[in-house]
Every structure is written in C-alpha cells, then in structure tokens.
Homo-oligomer: A and B are copies of this chain.
Amino acid sequence: MALDSLDPREFIRTKRDGLAHDPAALRAFVAGCAAREIPDYQASAWLMAAFLNGLDASETDALTLAFLHSGRVFDWKALGVAADKHSTGGVGDKISLALAPLVAACGVPVPMVSGRGLGHTGGTLDKLESIPGFQTRLEPAAMTEQMRKLGIVMVGQGPDLAPADGLFYSLRDVTATVEFEPFIVSSIVSKKIAEGARAIVYDVKCGSGAFMKTPEAARALARRLVGTTQALGAAASACITDMSWPIGWAVGNALEVREAWQVLRGQPVPGTRELTLTLAAEMVRLAGAALNLDAARVRVTHVLDEGHAAERFLAMAHAQGGDTRALEHGEPFHAAPKVVELQAPRAGILAGCDCFALGEAVVAMGAGRLAMEDAVDPRVGIVMTRERGDKLAKGDTFAKLHLAASDGAIAARVAGCFTFADQSPATLPADLVLERVEG
C-alpha cells in the first residue's frame, strides 16, 4: 500500500476497534511517520491503541520489517553468516565483552551494535568506554573495513540504523507505551537485522533484576523474539537465564571489564564463563559453523582456552583506539578512591538478592544513568567476594564497594539488598540458563 492511499485516521480506528492491520498498511503508516508526513500525534494515538488492544505475531513481524526498511541495512554475506547476541538487560551483565571476540575468533563475523545503560541495568558501550580511548562511534565505512580485517566491531547505534524505531521509541518514552512486548520485540529485532546479523541468540533475563520477573513473561518474550527474527529470515534461539543474583563477581563499568578479561584469559569466573560459553555455542551453531550444540561447545571452549578470544578482543580494542595496557598488565585500572567492605549482619547463608534494588543502588553510586545525558563514573561498583549459597559467620566480608567518596548511607543501602537465611537457596545451573527456546 502506498502512503498516499493510507488514511491515518482509518488506520488508527482499525486498531482502536481491536482489528488486525494489513501488513502493507502497517508498513505505509511507519514509513509515513518516519518521513514526517504523518504527525507525531497520530503516531502516539496509534501507539496507545496498539498497547491496549494488542498486536498479533504477524503485525509484530510487519512492524519490525517497517522499522528495518526505514534505514540502512548492513550486509556481511561476503564474510560469512554474521551472528549477534541481545540481552534484555540485567545487573552485572558483561557477557558481550568476552562473547563477541570469542565468536569472532571461531570465524563467525560479529557486527555487534550495543546500547548504553539506562535505569537499573548497565550497558555494553559504557563498559567498553571505561577502556581509555576506546571509540564506540564508527562510520559505516570504518565498520566495514574493521569487519573485513577482524570480523568484529562493537559499536553504538548509528542514526541511520532503523531510524523509524528511534522515532517510535522516543514517542513511546513520553506516552507511557514502553512496556509492551510487540514494541520491545520489533525494536530489538529490527536493529539486529539492520546491523546485518543473520544468526541471533537472545538472552532473556528472568528474576528480580530483570524486566521480566516471571518465567512465563520471559518465555513469551523469548518466543516472540525468536519467532519474529525467523519470520524476517534469520536464524534465532533464546536462552532464559537467571537474573535473581548479579552475574559473576562485579557490577560497575571498569570492574566488569576486568572480570570479562579474566574470562578471556580462561579463568573460572562463576556464572560469567559458563554463560559466555553457552551463548557462544548457540551463536556458532546458528551461524552454521558447527553441526550441533555439543560440537559448538567443544569448539568455543577450545578457542577460549587457547587464548584466541583474548587476542581478538585486544585486536578489536586497539583498532577502536583503546589502550589496554593497564588491563593486560593487571595494573590499577580506574581504581576507586574508596573501597568499603560489606559484612554479614548475622550468621547464615548468603541466600537472596533484590537485584533491581542493587542495580539502582549502583546507578546511584555513579555507575549508570537516570537520564541519557548523565555522565557515568567508570570506577565505581560492587565486587562480590563470596558466592550465593556460601555460609558466613556474623561480620564476615561478602562484598566490596568501590566508591567515589565515603558514603555510609550507600553501603547500608547496598547491604540491605542481600538476605541471609538458614537454608541454602535452590541450586542454579552453572551457566544460569533456566530454559532454551528455539521457536
């Protein structure tokens, strides 16, 4: 349907009345909004109608396609089947940092476009930028050049990638229509496909620190992400992973980069190493670089333990201007001025964490942002010194806070996020994966 034959009022009325959109009409509406021919007030009336009356799978697919075609679509076919991972956002989620170079080191191109932290979750770009000099803004020509040479880039979203999604996202933000699965799905998938990924694994977080609090909600989102990705012609799978406890040891930008470097060096960081290997195996298999998941797992483990992922990480960091000397030599790397120990207020088992509150506390320390304009302090954060399920005596240290300055209130606030119990919590899988979804 051409835009000139679309009546925006008729289109809005269709969804207002709970009817399904014709895919061509949906594409014409999005194109009209992106071309600024349909005004924002019509777009936002439609957003609310869709939020309240729903969009089915085929409408979600059509919306995703419309976002995709509103801008540039990268094509890496000449290099192979490009792969990527998207996480729905968690606390201490530094998985991408080791994962992307690991998969690239397996010969699978990884054109990773990431975001910044907002609200209680961190963002990969903020973490990368704690490496001195690291540039996350690359022109398309530079991206293409680096992809040819190294098979990996880790960058922010350029303005020409799914610009209609950018417009709709900014309207969703001001019209209370953010938390709606079809909008979330179309926003995520359109950008991944636009960056040229054709094999995508979704890490759908579930638990106190995730947007999806229940397995049901996480499963529904995972299915729709996989379904829409497949409908757009790419291979996809999803892992629903635990987010009831911070991933690995560290939360905070430079602290997480150090932890990811430990993983790249082959060290056994609990949770982080295993989840990195699991998601890498998914990507390698989806990209067709291994016959099955078991073979993929063997391959990625070997490549990680041989140090090829670490090499690829350094090559990428250097290509993007990063100075990795402090990181490589284990020297002080954005050391925080003040480190405070958190101690167990009672004897017992370190059992629970309100990850959402923890994420917000770490943001309040300066590690994240409440508004997109806020600056981020790379130094601050928390490092766990004991694990979930450990038995502690009263007064035992279980974590260290890295702070910009002394702050008793924040220490109490962070300590209050953890609970101690007499019984052990249920055991989690080593790679934190609760469930897989293949669509």
> Footprint of B on A, CB under 8 Å?
8-10, 12-13, 16, 39-49, 51-53, 171, 173-177
Contacts and interface: CB of A to CB of B under 8 A. Distances in A.
Contacts of A171: 41
Contacts of A46: 48
Of listed A10, A16, A47, A48, residue having the most chain B CB within 10 A: A48
A55 to B, nearest CB: 14
A41 B177 contact: no
Contacts of A43: 41
A42 B175 CA distance: 6
A9 B52 contact: no
Contact of A12 (B8, B12, B16, B176): B176
A363 to B, nearest CB: 19
Nearest to A9: B176
A42 B174 CA distance: 7
B12 A45 contact: no
Of listed A13, A40, A45, A174, residue having the most chain B CB within 10 A: A45
Given A48-B49, A49-B48, A51-B16, A41 B175 contact: yes
A48 B176 contact: no
Given A41-B44, A48-B49, 16 more contacts: A9-B174, A12-B48, A12-B175, A16-B48, A16-B176, A16-B177, A39-B174, A40-B40, A42-B44, A42-B174, A44-B44, A44-B48, A45-B48, A46-B48, A52-B52, A52-B53
A267 B78 CA distance: 89
A103 to B, nearest CB: 38
A119 to B, nearest CB: 14
A48 B12 CA distance: 10
Contacts of A40: 39-41
Given A40-B40, A52-B52, A53-B52, A45 B9 contact: no
6 contacts: A9-B176, A12-B48, A13-B176, A16-B176, A45-B47, A45-B175
A16 B52 contact: yes
A403 B47 CA distance: 46
Nearest to A52: B52
A13 B173 CA distance: 11
Contacts of A51: 16
Contacts of A45: 44-45, 47-48, 175-177
A419 B273 CA distance: 81
A-B pairs, top 3 by smallest CB distance, nearest first, are: A45-B175, A48-B48, A13-B176
A247 B176 CA distance: 47
A8 B174 contact: yes
A41 B42 CA distance: 7
A204 to B, nearest CB: 24
Nearest to A177: B45
Nearest to A51: B16
Contacts of A48: 12, 16, 44-46, 48-49, 52
Contacts of A173: 9
A49 B52 contact: yes
A7 to B, nearest CB: 10
A271 B7 CA distance: 40
Contacts of A16: 48, 51-52, 176-177
Nearest to A10: B176
B176 A41 contact: no
Of listed A9, A175, A177, residue having the most chain B CB within 10 A: A175
A146 to B, nearest CB: 38
A301 to B, nearest CB: 46
Contacts of A41: 40-41, 43-44, 171, 174-175
